[in-house]
Amino acid sequence: MEDKLFGSINIYKPKGMTSHDVVSVLRRLTGEKQIGHTGTLDPFAEGVLPVCIGKATRLIEYMADDKAYIGTVQLGKSTTTYDIEGEIVKISDKKVILADIEKALENFRGEIEQFPPIYSAIKVKGKKLYEYARKGEAVEIKLRKVTIKDLSIKSFDEESQTLELYIDCSKGTYIRSIANDLGNVLGCGGYLIKLVRVKAGNFALDDSVRLEDLKTREDVEKHLIYPLEYLNYPHYELNEEEKDKVSHGISVEIPSSEGGFIILTYRGRLAAVSQMQDNKPVLAKVFI
């Protein structure tokens, strides 16, 4: 029997595929059932999709979850889904200039509140929002707080009213909603026509692997990233006695720990994740 794969791979999700499709391809290539991605991308979007394989799926909750995107917004129109896949519901003849956009973007930096698109997978009363939308049913959508760390203009074509934005944001931010809300602030409407995720936590676009370049299990294994390379927590190296305790589920004292999560290693390999609770170390996940 082949050794189980353990780690994450930085996939470039192509346009037209769902995140689940990517996982299915990797399961077929590797024969591993325990595979999960760390952040859904809409089918029309493309870019960075970190995928955890094997026991690394148990580490998803500890991975950095900030994101960065390059989104292209078409001004002058609005759609039902806030993106190119929806039906056009508003058309405006208003033409905006760069100064108008720069002023409007001030409303979208820092901590903001946004309504998620009605065509989204967020659940309300046990049903996904898009299920309500498809049936034409009314449902209350609550504002969500998100943080926009960086929002800047990469390009603007005044003639075509096409705007390209760079957005560095917290988990749960809907770029489609930013496009729609920006259009509303400008008074002309707007919707997303292209979206590329360029960063997800410690995974960057330049280091991503094209799905079509993966033909075999060995190809996947070659691009696996060991968890210690992307977990942003303090590390503590166990000695032999401490390793034995941890392997039996017994917590060990960690000198000079300031709280939060600590990655425990043994001979440079991941052994466990420990968490400080009430100034005492508690084992959260054990891998030895």
| Catalytically active residues, by annotation | 42
CA–CA separation, 244 and 227 (whole Å)? 21
> How far apart are alpha carbons 71 and 234 in whole angstroms?
34
116, burial (CB in 10 Å: exposed 0-12, middle 13-18, buried 19+): buried
259 residue type, one letter: G
Strand partners, 52: 8, 36
What is d(CA 231, CA 225) in angstroms, rounded to the nearest whole number? Answer: 11
Helix spans in the chain (H): 19-30, 98-104, 129-135, 175-186, 217-222, 240-247
- The CA distance from 74 to 263, in Å, is 45
